Amino acid sequence: MLTGLLLGIGLLALLALVAAGSGWVPGQERRAARAVHGGCLVIGLGFAGVAAAKLGMGLPEVPMALPFGPPWGAAVVALDGLSAWFLLLLGLSGASASLFALGMPPETGRVLVPFPLMLAGMALTLIAADGFTLLLGFEVMSFASWALIAADHAEAENRAAARRYLMFAVLAGACLVPAFGLLAGPAGSLEFSALRASPPEGWRAGAVLALGLAGAGAKAGLVPLHAWLPPAYRAASGPVSALMSGVMYKVALYVLARLLLDLCGPVQPAWWGVPLVVAGAVSALFGALRANMEAEIQPLLACSTIENIGFITLGFGLTLAFRGADLGPLAALAAGASLLHALNHGIFKTLLFLVAGAVRNAAGSQRIDRLGGLIHAMPVTALAALVGIGAAASLPPLAGFASEWLLLEALLAGWRVSDIVFQVVVAAATALVAMAAALAAAAMVRFFGLVFLGRPRSPRGAGAREAPLKERWALLLPAGLVVLLGLFPGLLLALAAPAIRVLAGPATPTPATPTPAPAGLVLVAGEGASTYLPLAVALLLALVLVTLWFLVRRRSTGATQRGPVWNGGFSDPPPFLHFGDPLTQPGAAGFAQPLRQMLGSALLGAREVVMMRPPGDPRPGHFAAHAADPTPGWLLMPLARLRDGIAARAERLRDLTIRGCLSLSFGTLVVLLALLAWLEAR
Amino acid sequence: MPFDFPLPSFPLPWAVVFLPWAGALLLAFLPRERQATLANIGVSAAGFLLALALLAHPGGIQGWTHVDALNTPLVVLSFLIGLTTAVFSHGAVGAERFDALRLRAYHVAFQVFMGAQALALLADNMGVMWVAIEIATMASVLMVAVHGTPPAIEAAWKLFILCGVGITLALFGTIILYLAAQPLVGHGDSGLSWTVLRGLAEQADPGVLNLAFVFLLVGYGTKAGLVPLHSWLPDAEAEGPIAISAVLSGLLLNAALHAVLRAKAIVGAHDGAVAPGRFLLAFGLASLLLAAFALWRRRDARRFFAWSSIEHMGLAAIAFGLGGVAGNLAGLLHMLGHSLCKSAVFFGLGAAVRLRGSQKTADIAGLCASHPGLGWALAIAIAAVAGLPPFSLFASEFLLLTEVAARHAWLILPLGIGLLTATVAKLHILQALCLGDPTPDAPRDAASGGATGADWFTRDWFTLGPVWLHLALALLLGAALPGPLAMLLGQAARIPG
Amino acid sequence: MLTFGSIIVQALHLALVLAAAPLVVGLIRWLKARMQGRRGASPLQPLRDMLKLLRKRPVLAENASMVSEVAPYVACTASLVALACIPSFSRGMLLAPVGDLILLVGLLALARMALALAGLDVGTGFGGLGAAREMSFAVFAEPALLLCVLTFAILAGTTNLDLIAATFRDGGLGLRVSLALAAVAMLAVAVAENARIPVDNPGTHLEVTMVHEAMLLESSGRHLALWEFQAALKLTLWLALLSAIFVPFGTAPTGAGPLAWVLGLAAWLLKLGALCFALAVFESAIAKMRVFRVPEFLGAALLLALLAAALLFVSTGLA
Amino acid sequence: MTFGQLPYDVAHLFGGGMLLLSFMLLYQRRVTAVINGLAIQGAILACAAAWQGGMQSAPQLYLTALIAFAAKAVLIPLALRVLIRRLDMDRTVDTAMGVGPSLIAGVALVALAILVVLPITTGARAIAREDLALALSVVLLGMLMMITRRNAILQVAGLMSMENGLILAAVGVAGMPLVVELSTAALVMVVLVVAGVFVFQIRERFDSVDVSLLDPHRGEGR
């Protein structure tokens, strides 16, 4: 099985080579694109199949040493429950994205080469069983995705985004590598089995926590290390951003979970959960709020990703805390919530980014203020989008709700950790999570309502056509998955049981333990008292809906009639305005206005500038809304200034005459001699 | 070793040294450019083959030389880079506009340098090693100054004076080293033999050893470009033919650091002496931090990568300063990887500088758009130098960081800051050089002998071939080293202690 | 679980709330009118309105999509399902295991999103404005509600409504400050969710008060009837929820007989009537606030709910 | 090997003489005087080497002495004189550090050299230790001279003085192998430096006041 996975990774690398080779032969782009994306599709499905087989059949986990690796030892790979769970997500999301890309006009080599490499890097990270292989895959993934972001590098904005992106990726590496070093200790072996055998203690453990959180957080986009994330999405194409958002952050979170929950051993204290809970809650709030301010659809979705990453991190934090407080079932509940949400979010965010890609391809823009009314031109895409936003807004009975239900149940049980600080933190986190969920719903309404509903806002947008057949299939595949995942979360949790055991400890029941009869159809929390029956809810909703429709239509038989918009009695727009009066439609900034005033000005430094002309002045007035993320201001800019200051000072050393350089050498020699004399005199 | 060398008494190390020198003699009499460059390739290839034979050498002392696991890979790599540099230079030398005399001087100096480099690595006798490094220095001065322009002479003069002083100090250290051994071995050559000294160090006077180490460190450290002894390096690598930059940063620095390492091994063998690792650690950290910040102020692409050499030497010094098998392995791997990747960058950069007619960063933008083959090759090479996977610098930096974290956790902070600052600076330059809107190519006049657009394309592979070869080797080194070679490196890591 | 009694109770409950919903709206209107010195329309008037609207031919805007036609059904369904899970006169209904407070929040969100999307469908200024405000208010209402749920979950150990009601009825919790605080918070949320004064004014269609009604400007005929019905369902839902949690007295326990049901029914009607009266008094007594004061109003509720949970940590010695 | 008191004293005397000359070099204000001093130092070095050759009965040291005398006492000083005439250099020394401070620094360096060498009593022979201290002092003073003078010729002189100290140490250590080879190699370098000054006419590259001349040569402004 591992051999198969490795073969898949090798094939992906080969595909990248093929794509690179096709760059030399002009006119082969179409075939190369088909080969690459087709290959990725097949391999992605293969990954998902292997992972599902591993999870479902409980195949044994045998680490395998590879015949190659770093010069100091062999690379080791293994597939345990946690790896398999994330591999499942990788396979499903990768297959969807590849399928979508097959339908798109062929990409250039700049995209074709790194695309399979990114998949390979992620797969390698997931199946790695030693520190080096893990980080090798991790950084390959980062570098490949940088190439994808930088593919369209003619625009300075994209270049800046790519640079910042890579910077944070490097930061992540620079934090994670010492974390593994600290974990290994003087013994030096980086194999996971060896690391597990000697969990860190004291300040080492604290340092591992800090470094791991910073490292994985920088890659996963946890606040305040998220500054790179939204701009990176402005550049990437639909399938690429789907893959990045759907899977890449999950891989970062996988590293977080692997490092802190698995490799650090089960004996860490309960307070370890606090930093994760705080970071998760704050990220959720910030991400969701920013999603309401963004003016373009892909950054909007990216911000929503920050929010969901926050949820998952929060779940991991709760797992740590519950485990530290010896509350095994609750730890399993929180771990299950996180894992399920990771999968759910991976799928529905893939779907939404593919929708965004389809919209971009069809309407030629991703600015909300140039789109609108697409539901008429693109009904299938709109339907898929509706499913996606429903899941993203965590509406029952779709996928997002099940995992959020578990997460909230875990949060509501947080008071069982008998520490008043933790209790208050969890209570506050509950409020923040609820707020973030509501904000996400608002953002999703904004996304769907402004892009698909209403009237077109630009001629290009009005000329949009439905996505081609393959793209539509690629949208319907994850959309169907979202529905299925929402209906059968219990089955999924049963499937995730091996992964939950990795996180929550070996002897914990899963939250889907079938206490009431139909196994796997019920989510259970809080010692069996709280239940969520998604299938029952769905059936109930369907039943009521059909009945209601039937009753109402029997009573009211009249066919609907079409008429001009009433619009509160406002007069019709003049005929030269083909799309109606654009000012009477809510715009991207306008829809965000209440939230901007309520929360944005406090948290994001949002402000509005309204410039009204004095009476009689025929020139148009102006309105502009700004929302700036404060973190670059108080995190990146001071650091950059500090760096430049030090660099300027260091420059003085360079600007020396030969005599000055000689003096340096001489001074060094004299200092060393004096040091020697002092050392020996002691 | 897979098989015994057929003639154990055959002085293979000396053959490796003298072949390039004989080649230098030959090249001194070849006036025509094409002949000379081809002959240069031939000599380098022969040298490389001989060096490969070292892999099959049983090892051990042979007169003033010795072959062990530590110097064998360095020698082989040196000759490999020598060969690729010769290949690159075949495509590039036309653009340097040499007259006949300079062409000969250039080739002679190159081969003399190669021989001296080999001798510096293979020498067992510390005195011989010193002589070899001195010869290499003088050859490199000639190579840097070969253009005779004021900046070149300025740089060469700086190199000469600073390294001259450094080398003088190193000789003083060598003499003191003998002073330590003299009471134990009596008269004779063996008093300067590294192997003997290493064995006897435990009984020697620690005070003398300390003194010797300080002088050797400052002396050879100057050549290795460790801060604050580095001042000659950026200018020397930024002037002269660009092939020389590849050689200087790829080979000369390694030889010098190797010498420091040998000195450290001797002193470290004595428990009563000062811990030499601490000194290396301090120098390494200073190099890393200063270079990391200095990188942000560079506007000249070659100087940028020269500073990056300082940074990488600093990293290797930190690794060797940590010591232990893992630390030494990290350092060795870093040296090897840095040589491969940095020379690849200089090859690519050389082509770019030739095309754009300037080595200012601002004049070399957008290579990926104007020359995709070159642009992406250079981009990947820079990424490799920045320590991104899957190339070997990633592996060595990984090992170094984990080692530091495991053994001297407080070092993570300065090391992490330096590494991060430097890497981000390199990513900046990567994007500045390779991405974005291309700047126009320099106009070419037919008389210059420079390549026209089409001409450049035919010579393309003299640039891209070496670049890709180096990258492929760096990839192998980092992620899939064949077993015997990995064993060799493992043995090598045990040598410095 | 699946007993005959539970099915009967469920069916009765469903019929009861379906009937009660329009009446509750009418009753409040009538009470308010009386308090303001008017005679007021009959409490049955909303029901008559709805039936009349149902018969009318709906007019859709030219660029309206399927969303306008489907959304009212979805919203109504979600509200109805939610209401079906809230115990009224008796506990132990068929849907009691489904009746989870978090699910309730989710169903409310579903209805809210359907409403907001319907408001945005035609692309008019009013619809967008209303949708934006509706979604924004929820940003404060939902956390407050969930913190109240946290208080209940701590006290009852579950988020299942039926079990919470049982615990509060039988558990002998007595009067608790936390519960009082949570009650206030929940009342505030209820006011906001139902677009009542002071958050919104259900009685007018003026632009200045536009939140809920603004989204319905383009709907007509059966769609409007459904929206009106949905609003009524939601109001009833909140009143039922408040009475089920905070005044669970008189409710028939699980598996009780018809006599207990009758008692429970009487008690429930009484509670509902009292709540309607209280709401009418409240709405008559105060003025509508500015839109951007609403976050402060709901923020206060949020803080109260947080305080309730924190007090609970301290007072019950859970720490 | 047995050394009497006298041979030790003589060897010590030579070393002391070289140190004294180093101080004199540091003290001189005129270029020609510096070159003269350098020539004398070279001559003393040759004597020391010859004396050690006799003492250690090592004939190769005579060769060293011969080379040192020919090159350092005669040829290089002559060449430097020619150079000064050719380049028409300022005859007074342009010091970067006053003579007084540089003398004080020199004394401090000698003290440092002694301090560093002091702990080496154990095991090492006294003669070697004394010689080492003297040689170290000469080397350090030579380097001090390099950094306190702005004139290229004088810096070359400093380098030579350093190298003299080096050879002093080399000949002082009994039985040093490769003495001839090493000293010759070091000499070659010095000769090449002098040749460099000749060929490239490097007049004041070390520390020119003329910034406009230097800046373009450094390749990269600030």
A477-481, C53-57, C254-258: range with lowest mean pLDDT: C254-258
Mutate to test the interface with B, among D116, D173, D184, D194 (most CBs of B within 10 A): D173
| pLDDT tens sequence across A382-427 | 999 999 999 999 998 898 899 999 999 999 988 888 888 899 999 9
Mean pLDDT of B365-390: 88
Which chains have 3+ CB pairs within 8 A of C?
A
* Residue A351: predicted pLDDT: 95
Percent of chain B with pLDDT over 90: 41
Q: Where are the domains of chain C?
A: 4-315
* Residue D1: predicted pLDDT: 40
**Is B478 in CB contact (< 8 Å) with chain A?**
yes
In a domain, B456, yes or no: yes
Flag whether pLDDT at B4 surpasses 80: no
3-class secondary-structure state, position C60: strand
Mean pLDDT of B410-426: 92
Mean pLDDT of B327-344: 94
Q: Where are the domains of chain D?
A: 5-218
From C50's Cα to the closest Cα of chain A, the distance in A is 11
* Residue D201: predicted pLDDT: 58
Q: Of B257, B274, B291, which residue constitutes the final position of a domain?
A: B274
Q: Calculate the average pLDDT of chain A.
A: 87
From B295's Cα to the closest Cα of chain D, the distance in A is 12
Scan for tokens 């790695």, then name that residue.
Answer: A128
| pLDDT tens sequence across C92-107 | 888 888 889 999 999 9
Residues B208 and B281 in one domain: no
Mean pLDDT of D189-216: 56
* Residue B448: predicted pLDDT: 43
Give the chain A residue whose CA is nearest to the CA of D144.
A666
DSSP states along C179-231 = HHHHHHHHHHHHHHHTT-TTT--TT---GGG-STGGGGTT--HHHHHHHHHHH
Mean pLDDT of C295-302: 91
Residues B251 and B361 in one domain: no
Question: What is the C-alpha separation between D8 and D17, in angstroms, rounded?
Answer: 14
| A–D touching, 3+ CB–CB pairs within 8 Å | yes
Mean pLDDT of B339-363: 90
Mean pLDDT of B129-152: 88
Write the residue in B157, B402, B412 that is nearest to A131 by C-beta: B402
| pLDDT tens sequence across A50-82 | 999 888 887 777 888 887 778 887 888 999 889
Complex confidence, ipTM? 0.89
pTM for this predicted structure:
0.91
D112–A651: do the CB atoms touch at under 8 Å? no
* Residue B413: predicted pLDDT: 92
| pLDDT tens sequence across B262-274 | 999 998 888 888 8
A146-160, A285-299, C48-62, C132-146: range with lowest mean pLDDT: A146-160
In total, chain B counts a number of residues equal to: 497
The values of phi and psi at residue C59, to 5°, are -110, 125
Question: What is the C-alpha separation between B86 and B81, in angstroms, rounded?
Answer: 8
Residues A309 and A257: beta-carbon distance below 8 Å: no
* Residue D206: predicted pLDDT: 46
Percent of chain D with pLDDT over 90: 17
Scan for tokens 């929360």, then name that residue.
Answer: A599
In a domain, B193, yes or no: yes
In a domain, B2, yes or no: no
Give the chain A residue whose CA is nearest to the CA of B294.
A647
Which chains have 3+ CB pairs within 8 A of B?
A, D
Residues B246 and B300 in one domain: no
| pLDDT tens sequence across A256-271 | 999 999 888 888 888 8
Q: How many helices (H) and strands (E) does chain A have?
A: 30, 7
The number of C-alpha atoms within 13 Å of D41 and in the hemisphere containing its C-beta is 34
Choose between A556 and B109: higher pLDDT.
B109
A663–D147: do the CB atoms touch at under 8 Å? yes
From A171's Cα to the closest Cα of chain D, the distance in A is 29
Residues in chain B closer than 8 A to A17 (CB atoms) = none
Mean pLDDT of D152-172: 86
Mean pLDDT of B427-443: 86
Question: What is the C-alpha separation between C103 and A45, in angstroms, rounded?
Answer: 34
Residues in chain A closer than 8 A to B412 (CB atoms) = 178, 181
Residues in chain D closer than 8 A to A657 (CB atoms) = 206-208, 214
Residues B263 and B285 in one domain: no
Flag whether pLDDT at A510 surpasses 60: no
Mean pLDDT of B189-217: 87
* Residue C197: predicted pLDDT: 81
From A654's Cα to the closest Cα of chain B, the distance in A is 7
* Residue B9: predicted pLDDT: 64
| pLDDT tens sequence across A93-108 | 999 999 999 888 877 7
**Is A597 in CB contact (< 8 Å) with chain C?**
yes
Residues in chain B closer than 8 A to D119 (CB atoms) = 207
Taking alpha carbons only, the member of A235, A470, A467 closest to residue A362 is: A467
Q: Calculate the average pLDDT of chain C.
A: 88
Residues B461 and B494 in one domain: yes
Q: Are strands A561-563 and C59-61 parallel, antiparallel or unpaired?
A: parallel
Percent of chain A with pLDDT over 90: 42
| pLDDT tens sequence across A513-553 | 444 434 456 777 766 678 888 888 999 999 999 999 999 98
| pLDDT tens sequence across C17-45 | 999 999 999 999 999 999 989 998 999 99
Mean pLDDT of A622-629: 79
Domain span holding position B383:
276-497
Residues in chain C closer than 8 A to A455 (CB atoms) = 63, 123
* Residue D58: predicted pLDDT: 82
**What is the number of domains present in chain B?**
2
- Number of CB pairs < 8 Å for B and D? 130
A432-436, B153-157, D138-142: range with lowest mean pLDDT: B153-157
Flag whether pLDDT at A275 surpasses 90: yes
Choose between B90 and B344: higher pLDDT.
B344
In a domain, B3, yes or no: no
Residues B80 and B174 in one domain: yes
Confidence label for C208 from pLDDT (cuts 50, 70 and 90): low
> Which positions ≥6 away from B469 have C-beta within 8 Å?
B84
D177–B188: do the CB atoms touch at under 8 Å? yes
* Residue A417: predicted pLDDT: 86
Mean pLDDT of B155-169: 88
In a domain, B106, yes or no: yes
* Residue B1: predicted pLDDT: 38
* Residue C135: predicted pLDDT: 93
Q: Of B239, B274, B309, which residue constitutes the final position of a domain?
A: B274
3-class secondary-structure state, position C90: strand
D143–A669: do the CB atoms touch at under 8 Å? yes
Q: Calculate the average pLDDT of chain B.
A: 86
**Is A515 in CB contact (< 8 Å) with chain C?**
no
The values of phi and psi at residue A561, to 5°, are -120, 145
Flag whether pLDDT at B450 surpasses 50: no
Confidence label for D199 from pLDDT (cuts 50, 70 and 90): low
| pLDDT tens sequence across C137-186 | 999 999 999 999 999 988 888 888 988 888 888 766 666 788 889 999 99
Mutate to test the interface with B, among A112, A113, A130, A669 (most CBs of B within 10 A): A669
| pLDDT tens sequence across B251-262 | 999 999 999 999
Choose between A237 and B421: higher pLDDT.
B421
Flag whether pLDDT at A362 surpasses 70: yes
**Is D200 in CB contact (< 8 Å) with chain B?**
yes
Write the residue in D112, D115, D150 that is nearest to A659 by C-beta: D150
Tell how far CA B195 is from the center of its chain: 24
* Residue A526: predicted pLDDT: 62
Question: What is the C-alpha separation between B366 and B352, in angstroms, rounded?
Answer: 10
A457-471, B82-96, B182-196, B429-443: range with lowest mean pLDDT: B182-196
From D66's Cα to the closest Cα of chain A, the distance in A is 31
Flag whether pLDDT at B187 surpasses 80: no
Mutate to test the interface with A, among B141, B328, B402, B407 (most CBs of A within 10 A): B402
Residues B247 and B294 in one domain: no
> Which positions ≥6 away from B361 have C-beta within 8 Å?
B298, B299, B300, B301, B304, B429, B432, B433
| pLDDT tens sequence across B36-89 | 888 999 999 999 999 998 888 887 888 888 898 999 999 999 999 999 999 998
* Residue D60: predicted pLDDT: 84
Q: Of B240, B255, B274, which residue constitutes the final position of a domain?
A: B274
In a domain, B1, yes or no: no
- Residue D215, phi-psi category: left (phi > 0), alpha (psi -120 to 50), beta (remainder): alpha
* Residue A104: predicted pLDDT: 82
> Per residue in A602-618, is it b (16+ CB within 10 Å) or e — as a string?
ebbebeeeeeeeeeeee
